[in-house]
Amino acid sequence: MIPRYTPPAFAALWSSETRYAVWLDVELAACEAMEAEGLVPVGVARALRDKNLKLDPARIEEIERTVKHDVIAFLTHVEELAGPDARWLHRGMTSSDVLDTSLAVLLVRAADLLLERLDGLIVALSRRADEHRRTPMIGRSHGIHAEPITFGLALAGHLAEMKRGRTRLREARSEIAVGKISGAVGTYAHLSPKIEAQALAALGLRPETVATQVVPRDRHAAFFNALALVAAGIERLATNVRHWQRTEVAEAEERFTQGQKGSSAMPHKRNPILSENLCGLARIVRAAAMPALEDVVLWHERDISHSSVERMIAPDATTTLGFMLERTSSLVDGLVVREENLRKNLELSGGLFFSEAVLLALVSYGLPRQEAYVLVQRNAMKALAGEGTFRDLLGADPDVSARLSAAELDRCFDLEHALSHVSGIVDRAIAAP
Amino acid sequence: MIPRYTPPAFAALWSSETRYAVWLDVELAACEAMEAEGLVPVGVARALRDKNLKLDPARIEEIERTVKHDVIAFLTHVEELAGPDARWLHRGMTSSDVLDTSLAVLLVRAADLLLERLDGLIVALSRRADEHRRTPMIGRSHGIHAEPITFGLALAGHLAEMKRGRTRLREARSEIAVGKISGAVGTYAHLSPKIEAQALAALGLRPETVATQVVPRDRHAAFFNALALVAAGIERLATNVRHWQRTEVAEAEERFTQGQKGSSAMPHKRNPILSENLCGLARIVRAAAMPALEDVVLWHERDISHSSVERMIAPDATTTLGFMLERTSSLVDGLVVREENLRKNLELSGGLFFSEAVLLALVSYGLPRQEAYVLVQRNAMKALAGEGTFRDLLGADPDVSARLSAAELDRCFDLEHALSHVSGIVDRAIAAP
Amino acid sequence: MIPRYTPPAFAALWSSETRYAVWLDVELAACEAMEAEGLVPVGVARALRDKNLKLDPARIEEIERTVKHDVIAFLTHVEELAGPDARWLHRGMTSSDVLDTSLAVLLVRAADLLLERLDGLIVALSRRADEHRRTPMIGRSHGIHAEPITFGLALAGHLAEMKRGRTRLREARSEIAVGKISGAVGTYAHLSPKIEAQALAALGLRPETVATQVVPRDRHAAFFNALALVAAGIERLATNVRHWQRTEVAEAEERFTQGQKGSSAMPHKRNPILSENLCGLARIVRAAAMPALEDVVLWHERDISHSSVERMIAPDATTTLGFMLERTSSLVDGLVVREENLRKNLELSGGLFFSEAVLLALVSYGLPRQEAYVLVQRNAMKALAGEGTFRDLLGADPDVSARLSAAELDRCFDLEHALSHVSGIVDRAIAAP
Amino acid sequence: MIPRYTPPAFAALWSSETRYAVWLDVELAACEAMEAEGLVPVGVARALRDKNLKLDPARIEEIERTVKHDVIAFLTHVEELAGPDARWLHRGMTSSDVLDTSLAVLLVRAADLLLERLDGLIVALSRRADEHRRTPMIGRSHGIHAEPITFGLALAGHLAEMKRGRTRLREARSEIAVGKISGAVGTYAHLSPKIEAQALAALGLRPETVATQVVPRDRHAAFFNALALVAAGIERLATNVRHWQRTEVAEAEERFTQGQKGSSAMPHKRNPILSENLCGLARIVRAAAMPALEDVVLWHERDISHSSVERMIAPDATTTLGFMLERTSSLVDGLVVREENLRKNLELSGGLFFSEAVLLALVSYGLPRQEAYVLVQRNAMKALAGEGTFRDLLGADPDVSARLSAAELDRCFDLEHALSHVSGIVDRAIAAP
């Protein structure tokens, strides 16, 4: 979470002010539920809410330096501000009741911020995939020309992946929307499941099935894994943009803004730096999944080793992914597609990519597959060696022309036909949930 | 996948024989679908099936050494065995149509093997959680005695986590149950969505929304993440067993089999080596998640960098987790619970764990929380220093006795009351989906 | 790098002010070297230095928002402040000449801060290892009592590991003390190796053997790996403290400061929270090694994907480790050793740990090893079952007493003898480099 | 360690036969050292050696299934074969004395196999870097043309990185060449430092400074980190080959062997599959570093969680890297360099890459840097837009021609001059240690 990569909404979410405000929300929700159960005099929560307390993070941290316990420091400060009523707060609760429930609230909010931005990216990808559904392009495997696709199809692949990412992120949001108000070791020794259920419902959360002192960390690990997967999907898109923008390829490029400078030394350069930046940031989000997995193994009814990890990765990973989603949306929106270069590259091989169609025609004619393969490869190699166009060489090869007429050969070289199913695939991606 | 950690079912699943047999299944399923569409003469698949081909992995690998392409080697071998009909196989398909669809079949089978074993572990945990739902035990946070729980509750926590793992594994099975038969760059240039849908349905799979040459690797990364989460849950359980079996704790221990030797040097030792082994294996399964995430970023319509990774981690991670699940089930089944030691440890602090009850009684009486805290801590420290039992010290402290009668104090020291909700929590875990 | 875990020295090191000041240092060092080679008029660097420029990070960032290039923004700001002379700066250089050389300067300084703190920890460990070199303790493998060691020996093991960490960190400092001033693609097109060598020497750095546009990132990956290893060593120590402080073990514990509160719910608790915190932070430092390794694979003469990673992990990992080292030193310094509990635990098994000595005596007498093993284990199991002390049971076992006299048996039960080499091992650790 | 990626030397190294043979070597070396100290009758080791025992892995594993302890099973088998003398083996030793010392022997041998192969790769890189030291090529940053380099320089960068990898691997070999023969908890209770020193020296190892029951695992983590770094360096090289071989770039490509088939569907394809394979395998080697780091944190004097990890990653990571090194050497040796395409791509931009030279000439003339930048960028953009060659546009721009004569402009467009230092850099890489 460094300013360079922190959108304002995430800065606000992970501020001390928000954190302590959520702690207070949790305490008050619990207090209200205890009032309903008769453990706390009715009206305490309302009275405390009405005081509209302005918690001072600096003061809480000052107290913490003495007591070395953040929740005790917080409660002490609340008591300073609110007076004796505050003693009813936190009754029968343990720090983790507040901390874990609050973390759930914050991570749910973070998930909502992320889902909103992911929706934005999905809209952008849908629009551009639709726009270029019929823009032909050479497909590549191993970086080598394979067979034709369309630029819209390439984007549709990313679109479908982002939608899978959204499904996973929604699932992760649900996994993490779980709190606990069940006391020191999760037994409700001085509380009850009823109190917990009411308090959590007021906060938009569900109770943990079996809590220890904390909410089990497999939920958090699953959450960070979901972020890592979305980040990896962005990295794949960004990597493709980097390839498309290469000097020799030049099929698509990042929008270059007014005043931007590509290089301090080389004034002619226009570099895909946003995409490269996204690749780096994806490594950061991915790296957070590992300590989150290691956090699962808390000892007995809990230890506190997860806490320092989460203080760092919860803001870092959500914020970095939030930034990535914003940047990727804008990248996709502004992507400059060079149709002339798409066409030029497509034609670079003189139709070699129709070799499979020829192969299949020969096989349909009755040639064993491996013999047909040799025949086609022989002419492909000649074409690559510059001995003529692939179409002409095939026509001139007696082993081919003995089997396929000129008209049959021409049918193999039909781009429209090769792409006839593509628009339907793009529709599939746009329609996917 | 080393013999030591490979259950037979996984050895069979990941054998060359199974792999090539699945490839043939995929080719035949595709062939049948093409027959239905008129691309291949009706009856070819049936005729090939009836030959009941015995593929020879060694021969395929021999051919591969020349052609340097596994699927071409496979097809060549099929043609060797089956004769000219085989030329109808693989029509319009690319290697990845076979490989990725087969991988989906194999990973689905692996998931089924894992789910079966996870079910077994869940049964074992349910039984033992139920058995010990009322066996009191000291709960620990930070390794330090906190408040009472029951041994069944501790197991119920692991049970609930394993059930979450099962849900994630089922979800991962569904994510991975996706194939593609859409040709070189996913455009169905010489195929059709209809052929693909029919062939995949016969194999128990769904078509990919937008494939490139391959099924996108975010699905596989999600799959390996799910394995890592189950492994981390096992690691947490195994870590707790290691703690319980410590010499000084001795609350539960691994069953020691007849003839087993604990140490080559120290004949008296009984070590929790199964649990330690599980902790190590969890690291292996977790480590597979990282390269799986890195595989997502294939270039353009695919590169083949993921292939070597999956040749290793797909067998390794599924097999290792399968072994872990078997071992953990047997560990849980045979876990020897030392109720006398559970009781002894529980009583070790002379009831200090009732301090919170006393604190709450003082607060209910009207004392500000932080003042009550100081009062209780003062007597707790004396008890820890051996100046008397906690109950007696409290009774003798005038600041306490001024507020709480002896009867009120006694009510704070009631174990039954402290555990009154526990059985309900265990039920929750047993009833959870 | 969150305030909670950021020592002041690291906050200063990673501030914007320091960063831009180092950039200026690098530019001036390069300028001076160019003056010596006649590429820049003599005196320019001196004149600029004498202006004592106060760079304004906020202004630089403001310019960057337009030009989208940090080094150009910086140079523009320098020109604003220093006037026309500034145009001589950066001559023939590329941004990475400044950035990578500056990063080297900053990482070297970070390494020095870390080495200083690691020295402090080594001093603390040496002192405590020396202090407790003869304090007997039960050694444990698998958490189970094994044979006696001393508390000083346990610390000496950590001491030796930290010294290995220091060697690795020094090596990493040397690996990273490398800059480049060789232009856009490392060819010195408008510069020379001589200029680079002089400028880097002035900054305490060596030239890269073969730079691309950047210093190759394997150096940085090696650096972060070294940090991860030191962090893992701290985690091992912290884990042992957590074990030692367990309620049932209680052999050593963190110093509890005045006013500290262990739990908001349970006033009696004293938890090893510093050690748990260290375990969590170790996960963070370890996690930084992974993206650093992924950064190695820059494309061609460089891409910029490493930059965002390093903006985050360079401050985070060095600062977190710095904090860990400070905290660990203080932990070791203040560790409260409970000799009475060490003794109590040692005696818990009634001398079972002498079983190996008995085994060896029986073997020396002439018994085959496996027969001796069975004999010893038989009595150990009886002792564990509470049928008598191990020594008495052995004496009463005719198969034993037929071979070993009472005096011979007594010699097997000699703690002094068992520990006779320990002090020498501790010396070895203290003397190690 | 799957057959596909296992060179024979590594298959032999990690076989059961080798493992048990090394265990016996360690036992005999220890036995000889004990003879020298009078703990064992002189001549026992010699007598056992002379028996030339043929250990049977299957028999050992059969025994292990009963005793559940590998070293006890091994010793039992040795006793079966060698008779009563065998009882003198393992005297005062613990299993880990054998296992860890043996692991050190095996890892040292693995390191030697790796160093040999790395030497081979360094030879290949040196030869090709030398061969192409003057073959001009466009340098690229961000995938975009930057300034000229030579193909030899690009290879020299990889050469220098591999030499750094060799230094790190040698260091790792030294770190791991450490054994222990110090008994159950490292105290030499029934042994002595002298015995250990003699035995280890005979095996080519050094004693651990402070062992617990085991050699501390930071050494192993450092070892696996070093492997990961070499693998990452190979990944960088392989990634560049993949870029060079792209259809549109076509500057260099993997040797295509006779009979090889690029694609089952597309007969014309020649794919960089070796390089892609290397990228995948690098992920596997890198992934092993993470569990190795997690292994460091063994509890107390050891637990056995590291063992299962090492059973898998020690063979896997060393073998995979060995395979990678062999494959990379052959890749570099056979790399087909297309000089005509290097030249064609270099000329693609019409000399735009000389823009920095023009910029510097304008600055030398007296123009402020940012003004010069604007001037050059303006003409670069026109050239990119196809309005003329960069050289002509500059000549025709009055703001430029007012400052630089045609002759001065021509000097900026001199390739020889731009590359004048390159050969010296290549020499530096070849000469580096």
- Integer Cα distance of C378 and C393 in angstroms: 10
3-state class of A74 per DSSP?
helix
A194, pLDDT greater than 70: yes
- Residue C107 in contact with residue D262, Cβ under 8 Å? no
**Domains of chain C: total:** 2
A211 CA to chain C: closest CA distance, Å? 16
Residues B355-365 pLDDT 10s: 888 988 998 88
Q: Please state which of the ranges A130-139, A381-390, D1-10, D409-418 shows the lowest mean pLDDT.
A: A381-390
How deeply is C118 buried, as exposed, middle or buried, from its count of CB atoms within 10 A (0-12, 13-18, 19+)?
Answer: buried
Residue D252 domain-assigned?
yes
Q: Are residues A376 and A280 in the same domain?
A: no
Q: Are residues D401 and D274 in the same domain?
A: no
Residue D4 domain-assigned?
no
> Final residue of a domain: which of C341, C375, C390?
C341
In chain A, positions 124-153, which contact chain D (CB-CB < 8 Å)? 138, 140-147
The DSSP code sequence of D95-137 is HHHHHHHHHHHHHHHHHHHHHHHHHHHHHHHHHHHHHTTT-EE
A380 and D CB contact within 8 Å = yes
B67 CA to chain D: closest CA distance, Å? 4
The DSSP code sequence of B13-59 is HTSHHHHHHHHHHHHHHHHHHHHHHTSS-TTHHHHHHHH-----HHH
Q: Are residues A173 and A111 in the same domain?
A: yes
Residue A160 domain-assigned?
yes
**CATH code, domain with C373:** 1.10.40.30
Domain span including residue C389: 352-412
C183 and A CB contact within 8 Å = yes
Helix axes A95-131, A16-37, angle to 10 degrees: 120
3-state class of D145 per DSSP?
strand
Residues C137-193 pLDDT 10s: 999 999 999 999 999 999 999 999 999 999 999 999 999 999 999 999 999 999 999
B352 CA to chain C: closest CA distance, Å? 7
> Final residue of a domain: which of B318, B342, B366?
B342
C51 and A CB contact within 8 Å = no
- Integer Cα distance of D227 and D318 in angstroms: 7
How deeply is C388 buried, as exposed, middle or buried, from its count of CB atoms within 10 A (0-12, 13-18, 19+)?
Answer: middle
Q: Are residues A364 and A230 in the same domain?
A: no
- Integer Cα distance of B380 and C263 in angstroms: 13
Check residue A206 and give its pLDDT.
Answer: 98
- Residue B210 in contact with residue B196, Cβ under 8 Å? no
Q: Which two tokens stand for residue B205?
A: 């799979």
Q: Please state which of the ranges A163-167, D223-227, D414-418 shows the lowest mean pLDDT.
A: D414-418
In angstroms, the first-to-last Cα distance of chain D is 31
The DSSP code sequence of C246-288 is STTT-SEEPPPPTT--S-SS-TT----HHHHHHHHHHHHHHHH
**CATH code, domain with B308:** 1.20.200.10
Mark whether A77 is an active-site residue.
Answer: no
Residue B16 domain-assigned?
no
All residues at 6 or more sequence positions from C83 whose CB lies less than 8 Å from its CB, including other chains: none
The chains in contact with chain A, meaning 3 or more Cβ pairs closer than 8 Å, are B, C, D
CA atoms within 13 A on the CB side of C79: 17
- Alpha carbon A92 to chain centroid distance? 39
How would you classify the pairing of strands C206-207 and C178-179?
A: parallel
Nearest partner of C108 among C219, C274, C238, judged by Cα:
C219
Check residue B266 and give its pLDDT.
Answer: 57
Check residue A383 and give its pLDDT.
Answer: 87
Q: Please state which of the ranges A132-141, A229-238, C255-264, C315-324 shows the lowest mean pLDDT.
A: C255-264
From residue C359, alpha-carbon distances to B86, B425, C364, C407, C409 in Å are: 69, 50, 9, 15, 11
The chains in contact with chain B, meaning 3 or more Cβ pairs closer than 8 Å, are A, C, D
The DSSP code sequence of B226-289 is HHHHHHHHHHHHHHHHHHHHSTTT-SEEPPPPTT--S-SS-TT----HHHHHHHHHHHHHHHHH
Residues C72-117 pLDDT 10s: 999 999 999 999 889 889 988 999 999 999 999 999 999 999 999 9
B150, pLDDT greater than 90: yes
Q: Which two tokens stand for residue C131?
A: 């202090």
- Residue C215 in contact with residue C245, Cβ under 8 Å? no
Nearest partner of B209 among B196, B226, B220, B199, judged by Cα:
B196
Average pLDDT over residues A166-188: 97
Q: Are residues B286 and B366 in the same domain?
A: no
Q: Which two tokens stand for residue D141?
A: 């940053």
Mutate: best of A147, A254, A266, partner D, most D CBs <10 A = A266
> Final residue of a domain: which of D342, D374, D401?
D342
Q: Are residues C357 and C337 in the same domain?
A: no
B261, pLDDT greater than 70: no
B271, pLDDT greater than 70: yes
Average pLDDT over residues A174-195: 96
Q: Are residues B282 and B311 in the same domain?
A: yes
Task: Quote ipTM for the complex.
Answer: 0.94
Q: Are residues C257 and C367 in the same domain?
A: no
Contact A273 C2 (CB under 8 A): no
The chains in contact with chain C, meaning 3 or more Cβ pairs closer than 8 Å, are A, B, D
Check residue A351 and give its pLDDT.
Answer: 87
- Integer Cα distance of D360 and D369 in angstroms: 8
**Residues of B annotated as part of the active site:** 142, 263
Q: Which secondary structure element, helix H or strand E, spans residue B107, and what is its range? A: helix B95-131
Nearest partner of A328 among A223, A415, A236, A222, judged by Cα:
A236
CA atoms within 13 A on the CB side of D269: 26
D266, pLDDT greater than 70: no
Q: Are residues D304 and D357 in the same domain?
A: no
Residue D419 domain-assigned?
no
Residues facing residue B149 across a β-bridge = B137
- Residue C145 in contact with residue C70, Cβ under 8 Å? no
A351 CA to chain D: closest CA distance, Å? 11
Check residue D265 and give its pLDDT.
Answer: 54
Residue C215 domain-assigned?
yes
Average pLDDT, chain A: 94
**A274: confidence class by pLDDT, cuts 50, 70, 90:** very high
- Integer Cα distance of C155 and C153 in angstroms: 5
Nearest Cβ partner for C228 among D143, D293, D363: D293
Contact C377 B267 (CB under 8 A): yes
Residue C16 domain-assigned?
no
C238, pLDDT greater than 70: yes
Q: Are residues C369 and C290 in the same domain?
A: no
Q: Which two tokens stand for residue D183?
A: 């008994």
Contact B189 A147 (CB under 8 A): yes
Chain C residues touching residue A2 (CB < 8 angstroms): 1, 311-312, 315
Residue C231 domain-assigned?
yes
The DSSP code sequence of A112-173 is HHHHHHHHHHHHHHHHHHHHTTT-EEEEEETTEEEEEEEHHHHHHHHHHHHHHHHHHHHHHH
Q: Are residues C229 and C360 in the same domain?
A: no
Contact A356 D145 (CB under 8 A): no
Chain D residues touching residue B271 (CB < 8 angstroms): 304
Q: Are residues D202 and D325 in the same domain?
A: yes
Read off the DSSP letter of residue B340: H
Helix axes D95-131, D305-334, angle to 10 degrees: 20
